[in-house]
Amino acid sequence: MRCLLACCALALSLLLSGCGLPPPQERTTSQGLEVAETASTPLGKGVDALRRQAGATPDLTGFYALLDAKEAFAARALMARMAQRSLDIQYYIWRGDKTGDLLAHELILAADRGVRVRLLLDDAGTEGLDDTLLALDSHPLIEVRLFNPFTLRWPKPLGYTTDFFRLNRRMHNKSFTADNQATIVGGRNVGNEYFGATDGVLFADLDLLAVGAIVPAVSKDFDRYWASTVSYPVGQIVTRPASLSLQGLRAQGHTLLESAQARDYRDAVTQTPFIQRLVQAQLPMEWVPARLVSDDPAKALGTTQARQLIGTQIRDALGEPEHSLNLVSPYFIPTEEGVQAIAALRDKGVQVRVLTNSAQATDVTVVHAGYAKYRPPLLRHGVELYELRRTAPRYVPDDERQKFALPALGSSGSSLHAKTMAVDGKRVFVGSFNFDPRSAALNTEMGIVVDSPALATQIEQGFATQIPAMAYRVVLDEKEGQLRWHSGVGHPPPVYNTEPDMSLARSLLVWLVGILPVEWLL
């Protein structure tokens, strides 16, 4: 037995001995196209016509909020179909499921038409995709790179045992840019749960389709990640022979696209008109000043200074709240420093309202544990705290004026995934940044800050109308020192004295994580 254990230990050590990153090799260099180079494309002509029709100056950004999950999928597929020159795509997660495979097929079809495709994925979110990515990369016009990759391909998690502090830092950015004329930035990754295509947990999320001044900034930001020393060509990391050819992947995609299981998403693409309306200069967009906020990719190496981090950028772009702060975050861990900052705002009379996931709605229980201990101090300082219920009545806007209402939360099995913040009814952040220590200090993040009273007001109205019906209002009974969860529906609405739908096992996990010194990891 001792001999067997020794042999197993030796085998494991040999397996893990090569887990460090290989030395950088010479790579192809490329940059995003200049806007002038794509001005004559259908997207370029449509954007120019929209700008002139709105009387917008070149320094403004036009945006359209993508709230519906299938519409968000269709936007990406249609942009891929409309592109004539380039597609630059950056994601934290790309699933090898129905919607992921459908979008991968759209990339092949675009490249077959002569579109240059650059696909940059965080390697932690590419589980099981090695063959697919190698096949994509074999196309002459598609190049795939992996950010901060695992050199041990299977089982990937073992890589953490030898290189934890490097692999613990991930690229959480999300952007989809076509012809350097239109981009989608927001909270969604690529996978069934983000596009409403699963019977399990569905993420309620928010993206912005943007055109105009912000797009070249997103393109340049993609370039610096693409050229980063921690972005590796997939062929340098996945060195075994591929078991799937490009032709095989193309055939699989075509079969899936024509299948019954893809009918809903095939119909969503054909029946979603807004890309055509964009090209025809008929899409209603708000034209406003906008600013890209994004971490330097060097954050993945731990070499970025605090003043350069995205948290500081968001604070500078949004400004100090004077009247109201409305925050939506699925993974909300304010930390002691954050609680003190919120307390200072409350002392100045600023209304602070927060929506996050309840224990029953979250998909990451340990993050809920990191958040739970901050509820009492937040409530003592007068914060209005809401926790999304997993099953709640679906919210439907009353009229067109509420087109910028928060995502359609409340479908069966929903979990909040949108990340947005509105300040003073004037400015709004939408992006990938979770208000937690991981987003602040470990993962790279990005987003857009828009000077949009319309969107900011809709978020404020959401806290007054839809959110109370879909979430628990958490309050603190000062007399007894106990938390109470007020449901927004029922006759009368029930009040819970213990956390709803919290099992004993999960309660113990929340308690244990809450006392361990792991907040910096969450």
* Angle subtended at Cα 111 by Cα 106 and Cα 112, rounded to the nearest 5 degrees: 95
Annotation marks residue 174 as catalytic: yes
- Of the residues 70, 368, 419, 426, only one is catalytic, namely 419
d(CA 60, CA 51): 9
Choose the catalytic residue: 98, 105, 174, 299.
174
33 CB neighbour count, 10 Å cutoff: 18
CA distances from 155 to 159, 187, 261 (A): 8, 28, 30
Please give the angle made by the CA atoms of 144, 86 and 443, to the nearest 5 degrees.
Answer: 50
- Residue 162's nearest CA partner among 6, 7, 12, 366 is 12
- In the annotation, is 417 catalytic? yes
Contacts for 212 with CB less than 8 Å, ≥ 6 apart: 47, 51, 56, 58, 60, 61, 62, 287, 290
In angstroms, what is the C-alpha Rg of the chain?
Answer: 23
- The catalytically annotated residue of 48, 137, 221, 424 is 424
Q: How many residues does the chain have?
A: 522
Instruction: Please state, as a whole number, how many other Cβ atoms lie within 10 Å of the Cβ of residue 10.
Output: 10
Catalytic pick among 179, 207, 221, 436: 179
- From the list 70, 98, 105, 172, the catalytic residue is 172
| Catalytic residue (choose from 207, 417, 436, 451) | 417
> Cα torsion for 503, 508, 514, 516, to the nearest 10°?
-150
Angle between helix 42-54 and helix 69-82 axes, rounded to 10 deg? 120
The set of long-range contacts for 52-60, using a CB threshold of 8 Å and a minimum separation of 24, is 53/281, 54/285, 54/287, 56/212, 56/287, 58/212, 58/213, 59/213, 59/289, 60/212, 60/213, 60/287, 60/288, 60/289, 60/290
**Residue 172 falls in the annotated catalytic set:** yes
Contact 98, 68 (CB under 8 A): no
220 among known catalytic residues: no
Active-site residue set: 172, 174, 179, 417, 419, 424
